[in-house]
Structure 1
Amino acid sequence: METSTLIGYEQPTVFVTRLFTVAGLTVARRLFKELFMITSRLRTVRDHIRWAVSRFHEEDVFFGHGTDNAWDEARQLVLGALHLPWEIADSYLDCRLEVDEISELRRLIKRRIDDRVPTPYLLGEAWFCGMSFIVDDRVLIPRSPIAELIEERFAPWLASEPARILDLCTGSGCIGIACADEFPDAEVALADLSYDALEVASLNIERHGMDDRVYTVQGDGFDGLPGQRFDLIVSNPPYVDAEDFADMPDEYQHEPELALACGSDGLNLVRRMLAQAADHLNEKGLLIVEVGNSQVHVQALYPEVDFAWLDFKRGGHGVFMLTEEQCRNHQALFQSRV
């Protein structure tokens, strides 16, 4: 291991002890002096953000779990670990850190680089629609462009305020809970196959005080919802095809495969959802589904269907919308291609 790596990450006392054990006294003194110079330079919040940015670039870290660049990733990790707000006043960035804070930041940055653990998992928290959600490796990290639709209240497509909303394949519950926050009179169901995911979703329901109108349902697709209908069904299901899944960066290996991969074309679950959606939508209801890069497979599989592919101001693609009428009119077609 290179000296710079040791200096960057180890506790000073542990590092020096090992030096005196392994190396000669002269070498130890020289490296201790180097260690002192480096640690004395990295004392403030700003220092550690800048240092993390440099390390992320050096180690070719992948960004895709809430950020798309080294600067935002470093800010997210450092500020999050210190429990500081994202919109912190610039003067606070020059505050000096305590020794234990520096040690914790070094530990987290090391894990981000060496183990490729996504920052939200390191912090146990992710943000979606301006709301904080508990996350761990039982659930996908929230990052769907559907957030933009929620913030715009699904305008102009939603005819009226929905009374009942379904977040299908809910994971952490972020989409459904954000919908509940935007539509305070709506009842919201969070459905998922994974019991582990529903445990996390339940924690987030409690965190946001929505136990009275947001509930969880266990089941495969619509299986746990017999006879139930909704005004709005929103889903970010597993949709990654086999080719894309094989090429995903290491960071994605920390997320549950069940929430990502779904067959050779990524549409194993989406096909079943489309076949059953008409039976679970109220009149004038909407179905909104994210399929990402598998948009090409959807279009190839259903060339007869006029999917509305939605645009996003903040980036994102592969989200389609169908009306209840379209789902009903094409139900036989959808059922024939499951």
Structure 2
Amino acid sequence: MINQLHTIQDFIRWAASTFNRSDIYYGHGTDNAIDEAKQLVLPILNLPLNIPAEFYAANLTHDEKQLVIDCVLARTEEHVPTPYLTNAAWFCGHQFYVDERVLIPRSPIGELIQNHLQGIIDFEPRNILDLCTGSGCIGIACAYEYPDAEVDLADISDDALEVAQINIEAHQLNHRVLPILSDLFNDLPAVEYDVIITNPPYVDQEDMDDLPLEYKVEPELALVAGNDGLDIVRRILKEASKHLTKFGVLVCEVGNSRIALEEQYPQLPFRWIEFRHGVDGVFVLTKKQLIEFEDTL
């Protein structure tokens, strides 16, 4: 086979055909075999996704051919998500380094950030916390959107913070984005935040058991949160108000655990965000609301 494929176009076509014959699951940035093939082959060759059309006729070296073949087989036989094979993912229009130590960026919160948190806050935040940061993509995207803000990236995982640091340096944001090792709020500095944004673990055990193999390659620590998926969210709700400014807000993603959350806290005035692409499971609560209902948390 390696002697029958020659050009970039050959390998993208072969990869797409191989994906179509496989049982891989799309959900980490693409939804079809051709886009998945491009997202795999081009970064593996250290080429941008928008290469000029004439590049597709370029021949690969023997080593490049073998590398692409190995990655395509890892994608189909081991169900390794493409971003782990390329160490590249995109969020809010920015490229981030990722590997198996962190979740692959895909949060709908990105849409909120790109819309400048419209309808959530009506002021420019000075301090932002990205809680359960993983790769740091949410906090770094906030740093781009709010160039005058200081951003803290907190995570319980040393491994995740090592990845976040790679991204902080890649985006040249060392001067105002700080990674912090902390079990939620336990080890944070004495700072009140205008915005706390969090995509915490929220997958319940039933959903975890049913996840496609691609998601099971991701770190379980960043996914599972007890039988109902709310172990971490309960702690966040209980503690967040102490770390917010007077007009501060909590933005939290809970995905499919929304139903369980509403059943457990029927009194809380969750404001659920409607997204352009139809996803849901992200709520907003103000500090005032969290304090008002703190006896029930």
Pairwise TM-score range, normalised by the shorter structure: over 0.9
Q: 2:195 aligns with which of 232, 243, 249?
A: 232
* Corresponding residue SS for 1:88: coil
The structure with higher relative contact order (CA 8 Å, sep 6+) is 2
Moved more, 127-136 or 178-187: 127-136
**Sequence identity (%):** 51
Q: How does 1:10-25 map to 2 (within 5 A)?
A: none
Residue equivalent to 2:186: 223
**2 CA distance for matches of 1:153 and 1:332?**
32
Q: Structure 2 stretches of 5 or more lacking a match?
A: none
- Contact 1:159 1:284 (C-alpha < 8 Å) held by counterparts: no
Residue equivalent to 1:173: 136
Deviation at 1:92, TM superposition (A): 2.5
TM-score, normalised relative to structure 1: 0.85
**2 CA distance for matches of 1:226 and 1:101?**
47
- Contact 1:293 1:318 (C-alpha < 8 Å) held by counterparts: yes
Residue equivalent to 2:274: 311
Residue equivalent to 2:93: 130
* Corresponding residue SS for 1:275: helix
* 2:82 pairs with 1:119: yes
- Contact 1:61 1:113 (C-alpha < 8 Å) held by counterparts: yes
Deviation at 1:143, TM superposition (A): 1.0
Deviation at 1:300, TM superposition (A): 1.0
**2 CA distance for matches of 1:96 and 1:202?**
36
Deviation at 1:283, TM superposition (A): 1.4
Aligned AA (1:214): V
Moved more, 224-233 or 105-114: 224-233
Q: How does 1:247-262 map to 2 (within 5 A)?
A: 247-262=210-225
Residue equivalent to 1:99: 62
Aligned AA (1:51): W
Q: Deviations over 1:256-308 (max 9, x none)?
A: 11000000010001001001111111111111111111111111111112211
Moved more, 198-207 or 88-97: 88-97
Q: Deviations over 1:76-107 (max 9, x none)?
A: 00111122222233333233323322221111
Q: 1:155 aligns with which of 118, 121, 127?
A: 118
Residue equivalent to 2:9: 46
Q: How does 1:175-194 map to 2 (within 5 A)?
A: 175-194=138-157
What is the aligned length? 297
* Corresponding residue SS for 1:48: helix
Deviation at 1:70, TM superposition (A): 1.7
Moved more, 176-185 or 44-53: 44-53
TM-score, normalised relative to structure 2: 0.96
Q: Deviations over 1:141-171 (max 9, x none)?
A: 1111111111111112211010000000000
- Contact 1:276 1:331 (C-alpha < 8 Å) held by counterparts: no
User: Over aligned residue pairs, what C-alpha RMSD do you find?
Assistant: 1.4
Higher helix share: 1
Q: 1:300 aligns with which of 263, 267, 270?
A: 263
* Corresponding residue SS for 2:288: helix
* Corresponding residue SS for 1:143: coil
User: Given the superposition, is the C-alpha separation of residues 126 and 308 from structure 1 closer, same or farther in structure 2, using an over 3 Å criterion?
Assistant: same
* Corresponding residue SS for 2:120: coil
Residue equivalent to 1:277: 240
**2 CA distance for matches of 1:273 and 1:172?**
20
Deviation at 1:315, TM superposition (A): 4.4
- Contact 1:170 1:235 (C-alpha < 8 Å) held by counterparts: yes
* Corresponding residue SS for 1:284: strand
User: Given the superposition, is the C-alpha separation of residues 275 and 110 from structure 1 closer, same or farther in structure 2, using an over 3 Å criterion?
Assistant: same
Residue equivalent to 1:83: 46
Aligned AA (1:156): G
Larger Rg: 1
Aligned AA (1:208): H
Q: Structure 1 stretches of 5 or more lacking a match?
A: 1-6, 13-35
* Corresponding residue SS for 2:12: helix
Deviation at 1:226, TM superposition (A): 5.6
Q: How does 1:202-213 map to 2 (within 5 A)?
A: 202-213=165-176
Residue equivalent to 1:57: 20
